[in-house]
Structure 1
Amino acid sequence: MKGLFAVTEWITRFAYVNLLWIAFTILGLGVFGLFPATVAMFAIIRKWLRGDVDLPVFKTFWELFKKDFWKANGIGLIFAVISYLFWINLQFMQLNDSTFAQWAKIPLYFGMLVIALTLLYVIPAFVHYEAKMKDIWKNAFLVMLIHPFHNVLMILGIVVSTYIMFSLSGLLFFFGASFLGFIIMGTCYHAFMKIAEKQEALKKKEEEQTN
């Protein structure tokens, strides 16, 4: 019964934060609310992962939404520019059949894959690290680069979860954003913790050598 209650409690949490994500996205007129709401949702999921499961969700969501509104929209603007460049590259590759274009597809696809994987780490890195914006992007790229297993795990989780939720459309409304956010934030958080452990071990080793 305790296990069943715990599962029900977590289902309720995910559904509630997903509805808040939808509501605050609409509150920000969609375009301006999407990324602040997403950042707030990721920050709450991170707090859950750290064991703070009894936090006041609505109050915390609202405070985070206001606090990071402009920074989150700055991230959103960069995402939009990168998405537009992706679209231009895809159009170029589809419309151009020259030999050069065929050879250019390989590095273009590879570069787009690297950038897309980096984007998955940006918002988790933003809510996890207290750093300047340029350092957030640098950290996201470096973590993505040194943790290929996490990349694969994250992509598989996103694909499988998306397939299930589209197959059962009711799940998409209640868990579409929050559960995908949990997969992304959970995977990134594990990678961040692995890096922190390595840094701590290296620091201890250096201190031992100094002493």
Structure 2
Amino acid sequence: MFKFTTYVEWLWEVIKLHILWIGYLVRGAVVLGFFPATTAVYAVARYWLKHGDTERVSVLFKKFYKENFKTSNYLGWIVLFASFIVCLNWFYIPYVEQMLLKFVMYGIVITFTFLLILTSLYVFPVIANYQLQLVHYVIIGVKIGLTYFPYTILQVVLITGLTMMYVRFPQLTLIFGIVPITFVQMYICNHVFRRLNHEQISTT
């Protein structure tokens, strides 16, 4: 009975976190609220996984939202704009007639697409875990994504699985939103960050 009660309480905190995400998304007029609200979910997930404490979720969310408001918006919109440019190139390249130029352009666009995927996967967990200069978030994200590539693949597989489950059961999206995905990512990323910190200490 105690375990069941604990499970229900934890489930309620997850739902509450999703509600907070929606509330702060609207508070930021969506355009300015999406990235800091999403970063706050990652930061709260990191806190829960690290401390095992699901209390004060509203206080924690507000704190992380304010702390990362500017950084997450800058990085989020940069990545979004870069993704838009890359998508335009994917649509444009098939119309290029010169085969050599088309081949070179495909190589460049594939490379940038790969780097954007790595950046998108790690940008929120890195913001939630480190305080860095703006450009270093991207550099660290790409570096971690390449260095610990098996963990990157694992994230992609699990996120794809969760997305397919959401498509199959869309009501889960309304109840839990992005929270399960953030927990999966932060669980994997926390392991990666611990290994990274241990390796840095070992080399000093």
- Provide TM-score, normalisation by structure 1: 0.87
What residue number does 2:123 align with?
A: 122
Letter matched to residue 162 of structure 1:
T
- The 8 Å contact of residues 13 and 54 in structure 2, kept in 1 or not, is answered as no
- The residue aligned with 1:87 is 87
Hey, what does 1:49 align to over in structure 2?
Answer: 49
Alignment of 1:59-78 (within 5 A): 59-78=59-78
CA contact (8 A) 2:83 2:116 kept: no
Instruction: Say if 1:10 and 1:96 are closer, same or farther in 2 by CA, change over 3 A.
Output: farther
AA aligned to 1:26 is V
Number of residue pairs matched? 203
Q: In 1, distance between residues paired with 2:134 and 2:6?
A: 37
Alignment gaps of 5+ in structure 1: 204-211
Tell me the distance in 1 between the aligned counterparts of 2:174 and 2:37.
16
1:118 Cα deviation from its structure 2 partner: 2.1
Moved more, 187-196 or 65-74: 65-74
- State the Cα distance separating 1:193 from its structure 2 match: 0.9
Contact kept? 1:41, 1:61, Cα under 8 Å: yes
Spell out, residue by residue over 1:59-116, the C-alpha distance to the aligned partner (whole angstroms, 9 max, x if none).
2212222232222211122122212212222112343354231454244223312221
Residues 1:11 and 2:1 are matched in the alignment: no
| Aligned-pair CA distance for 1:58 | 0.8
Greater Cα shift, 80-89 or 19-28 = 80-89
Q: Deviations over 1:99-142 (max 9, x none)?
A: 23145424422331222112211111111012222222221111
* Alignment correspondent of 2:143: 142
2:161 counterpart SS class: helix
Structure 2 residue ranges without an equivalent (≥5): none
Instruction: Please tell me the residue identity of whatever aligns with 2:43.
Output: A
Separation (CA, whole Å) in 2 of partners of 1:103 and 1:97: 12
Q: Residues 35 and 150 from structure 1, CA distance in 2 versus in 1: closer, same or farther, beyond 3 angstroms? A: same
Q: 1:163-192, CA deviations, whole angstroms, 9 ceiling, x for partnerless residues? A: 101211110112221111112222222111
1:173 matched to which residue of 2? 174
User: Which stretch of structure 1 is more off in the superposition, 98-107 or 131-140?
Assistant: 98-107
Within 5 A, what are the aligned runs for 1:195-206? 195-203=196-204
Name the structure 2 match of 1:209: none
Structure 1 stretch 108-117 or stretch 34-43: which is displaced more?
A: 108-117
1-structure distance, mates of 2:92, 2:114: 17
Paired letter, 2:143: L
Whole-Å Cα distance in 1 between the matches of residues 71 and 104 of structure 2? 38
Point out the more displaced range, 154-163 or 56-65. Answer: 56-65
Structure 2 contact 36–72 (Cα < 8 Å) conserved: yes
Write the letter of the residue equivalent to 1:163: M
